[in-house]
């Protein structure tokens, strides 16, 4: 029988988290190349780490939703979830009918897309 120590599990978790952060940073560099270039690699890594932590506070646990959250940060601002100028964000995050974090993130993304469209489209 194979035995894995708590330290090995912790190390594996750290390695997985770093790989995930690097994958998200690479994705953001493809989607938002200009912004990411201006930020630089170190700042981009910080933003990814912060975004993952902020999304995690709302119960986000899936890669797709972390990715959408990071997109929202780039479009709406790094602390869009606490921005008093975006009351619609707070109403979605606090909506008791949306108890599933997956639904909340998708609703936020859809609402942001609607607001970005020119009138009449």
List alpha helices for 32-76, DSSP H: 33-39, 41-57, 63-76
Q: 75-84: per-residue pLDDT in tens?
A: 999 999 999 9
Q: Which pLDDT belongs to residue 10?
A: 67
Longest dimension (CA), the chain: 64
Q: 8-63: per-residue pLDDT in tens?
A: 776 666 656 788 899 999 999 999 999 999 999 999 999 999 999 999 999 999 99
CA 3, CA 99: separation in Å to the nearest integer? 38
Q: pLDDT band at residue 113, thresholds of 50, 70 and 90?
A: very high
Start-to-end Cα distance in the chain: 61
Q: pLDDT band at residue 4, thresholds of 50, 70 and 90?
A: confident
CA 75, CA 34: separation in Å to the nearest integer? 13
- With 0-12 / 13-18 / 19 or more C-beta atoms within 10 angstroms meaning exposed / middle / buried, residue 113 is exposed
| pTM attached to this predicted model | 0.85
């Amino acid at each position: 029988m194979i035995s894995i120590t708590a330290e090995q599990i912790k190390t594996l978790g750290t390695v997985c988290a770093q790989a995930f952060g690097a994958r998200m940073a690479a994705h953001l560099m493809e989607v938002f190349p200009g912004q990411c270039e201006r930020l630089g690699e170190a700042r981009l890594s910080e933003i990814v780490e912060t975004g993952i932590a902020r999304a995690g506070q709302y119960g986000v646990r899936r890669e797709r939703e972390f990715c959408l959250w990071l997109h929202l940060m780039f479009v709406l601002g790094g602390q869009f979830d606490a921005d008093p100028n975006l009351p619609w964000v707070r109403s979605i995050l606090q909506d008791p009918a949306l108890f599933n974090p997956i639904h909340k993130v998708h609703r936020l993304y859809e609402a942001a897309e609607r607001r970005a469209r020119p009138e009449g489209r």
